Chains A and B, each alone.
Chain A
Amino acid sequence: MEAKKLFWFMSGQRREFTKKIEASRARVYRVAYAWCHDAALADDLAQDTLSRGLENIEQLRDDTRLIGWLLSILHRCWIDHLRTRRDFESEEMLAELPTDAPGPEAHAMARETVRRVRLAIDALPLGQRQVITLVDLEELSYAEVAEVLGIPIGTVMSRVCRARNALRVLLEPARRENQENQLRCVK
């Protein structure tokens, strides 16, 4: 291919990738929100991810891998954000970090299923929260999750198990409350 044609081809592909990156904002935002539960922060993380993506667009060879590529950038943005906020030794420690316990206000909001589930997600260690949201929301395969987060696939599997076990336990009180309500209705 002669140089001029190659240039046009490249710039056309670049334009297309740029458009696709911009169109992924809603998806990136949703995952960011599921990780941090803070609309403003999720918005900033999504913005950082998209601009880093656009800056490094040359790295992207194949647009079928676009969302995984963007999510791995989001993961790095998120880790960077946490680094500035907390003192910690390593990424492994970070993944195991417990999250702050929900306060009384959170309990008052916890009536609705959505809020109950979000509270439960919020209580998961960060590593589990990232894995389970990528598997359940983005429906990534275990191999893709391993690549996005840069962890072994075995770790993905064990985090999926632990996250679902923990969610079951965390949602248990809500379930009992619900059943009691149903009993009261029957009476």
Chain B
Amino acid sequence: MNMSAKFSEEQLNAFVDGELAAAEREEILAASTVDPVVAQRVCALRASKELLQHAYDRHALPTPARARRDAGWWSGALAAGVMLVVGIVLGIQVQRTAPEQTHASLEWASNFFVAQPQRMLVHLDHANTEHMEAALDLVDAYLEKNASAHVEVIVNNRGLDMLRTDRTPFATRIADLVLRYDNVAFIACENAIARFEGEGERVAILPEAKRMHNAIAHIADRVQAGWTYIKV
């Protein structure tokens, strides 16, 4: 089943950058469901992309001096620029959460139940109830097959809603999972909490949830340590 050698570095990079035509894309997607080496190479490239985006997150950039100096004149333009970036990010999120993709990654995940070491990281970065439910179904199914597996569900951005007491529809289900299994953790990103609080929201997190300073950094570490990473 080793198909890894079949795909060149160029092809896999083009795959994660969305540059391939449908046929070739599907071929790689199919290969990644049966060949852990292909899956891992794709995962590592995706992680690289996410790390880079994280490193230049607009919140983390130093403020340009000129914008501060000419705030009166430029603030409107800057705000518009920021809105543009927000719009683009939202656009990307929407693209990323296309249902067929979720479906593909769930299918992809199920192939790991047997083959992979028993460590799985599930990532949610948007507030979609169906995707939350899919993530919980996945965790349930996974733990049912391997009660000793280590599973983490990590949420950032609007995915945080899944762990907010006043917003999650799944409080009981999450509490129940944590009660039944010692080795499952639900993790909220503190950066996201701080950001929403900075925007004036009151953020209350489920008592079962843990907190982690930076979700993306944690994901990168887990992926590099060989965890199976699934984004829903």
Chain A interface (Cβ within 8 Å of chain B)? 19, 22-27, 29-30, 33-34, 39-40, 42-44, 46-47, 113-114, 117-118, 121, 132-133, 135-137, 139, 141-142, 157-158, 160-161, 164-165, 167-168, 171, 175, 178-179, 182
For the complex, count residues of B whose C-beta is within 8 A of A: 44
Contacts of A43 in B (CB 8 A): 64-67
Interface pair B52/A136, CB less than 8 Å apart? yes
B1-36 CB contacts (< 8 Å) to partner A: 9-10, 13-14, 17-19
CA A139 – CA B18 in complex, angstroms?
10
CA A182 – CA B227 in complex, angstroms?
14
Task: Indicate if B80 sits at the interface (CB-CB under 8 A).
Answer: yes
Contacts of A182 in B (CB 8 A): 221, 225
Chain B interface (Cβ within 8 Å of chain A)? 9-10, 13-14, 17-19, 44-45, 48-49, 51-58, 60-67, 74, 77-78, 80-82, 84-85, 88, 92, 214, 216-217, 220-221, 224-225
Q: Which residue of B lies closest to A176 (CB)?
A: B224
Interface pair A26/B55, CB less than 8 Å apart? no
CA A149 – CA B134 in complex, angstroms?
42
The 9 A-B residue pairs with the shortest CB-CB distance in the complex, in nearest-first order: A26-B81, A117-B55, A23-B80, A43-B64, A113-B217, A39-B62, A22-B77, A136-B52, A175-B224
Other-chain residue from A24, A27, A113 in contact with B55 (beta carbon distance below 8 A) = A113
Among A24, A158, A160, max chain B CB count under 10 A is at A160
Contacts of A22 in B (CB 8 A): 74, 77, 80
Other-chain residue from A113, A121, A165 in contact with B220 (beta carbon distance below 8 A) = A113
Contacts of A33 in B (CB 8 A): 56, 61-62
Q: Which residue of A lies closest to B50 (CB)?
A: A136
28 contacts between A and B (CB under 8 A): A19-B77, A22-B74, A23-B81, A26-B82, A26-B84, A27-B85, A30-B56, A30-B58, A39-B64, A42-B64, A44-B66, A113-B54, A114-B55, A117-B52, A121-B55, A132-B52, A133-B52, A133-B56, A141-B17, A142-B14, A142-B17, A142-B19, A160-B17, A161-B9, A165-B9, A167-B51, A175-B225, A182-B225
